[in-house]
Amino acid sequence: MNGVALSSDNQNLRTIDGGLTWTPIAGLTAQFREMEWVSPTIGFGGCGGALFKTVNGGASFQLKSGDPTCPVIWGMAFKDGNIGIVGGSIQFGANGMFKTTNGGATWTRKYTGDCNTILYMSGTEWLSVDRKTMLRSTNDGETWFPIGTIDSGFGQLVKVGNSGR
């Protein structure tokens, strides 16, 4: 019944009745590029060089990190309320995958490349794409290795089936 609609004109909206009515999210005027939910109440919104977190189903969001210490987020996935990986760029073109273990307060680059899509699978397994190279991590994003190639660059990874969320 709960949902959030992201808007290109900074009018982010929330519903608690399955979309019958929508209300603006108080105090949130950021233009989210990515949104990731790890539970019905905990979610993350990424925009430009900033990451926001909600713990109340989108009723309000708190800024967790911003420019220049937060990557410009091209794609993101979170395992839980603390561990997440984003693809993006930080501080003048340092591209790659960046990991947080504290809900987005701080970031560490774990891979250098142009990754715009990240997918958390299960346990400690993650997938990503660096241009035309498929990547896999089996240790919560600490290290990445190639597992194949795709024909078109910057593909979008989508998990099919019940993700348990």
**Looking at residue 126, what is its pLDDT?**
97
**Looking at residue 4, what is its pLDDT?**
79
**Looking at residue 32, what is its pLDDT?**
77
**Looking at residue 156, what is its pLDDT?**
63
> What is the C-alpha R_g of the chain?
16
**Looking at residue 6, what is its pLDDT?**
72
**Looking at residue 38, what is its pLDDT?**
93
The DSSP output letter for 163 is: -
Strands 115-122 and 108-111: unpaired
Q: Which residues of the chain have pLDDT under 70?
A: 7-10, 26-29, 152-165
Q: Which pair of tokens denotes residue 150?
A: 């795709």
**Looking at residue 31, what is its pLDDT?**
74
**Looking at residue 154, what is its pLDDT?**
55
* 117, 75 Cβ separation under 8 angstroms: yes
**Looking at residue 48, what is its pLDDT?**
79
**Looking at residue 161, what is its pLDDT?**
56
**Looking at residue 10, what is its pLDDT?**
67
Q: Which pair of tokens denotes residue 107?
A: 């970031």
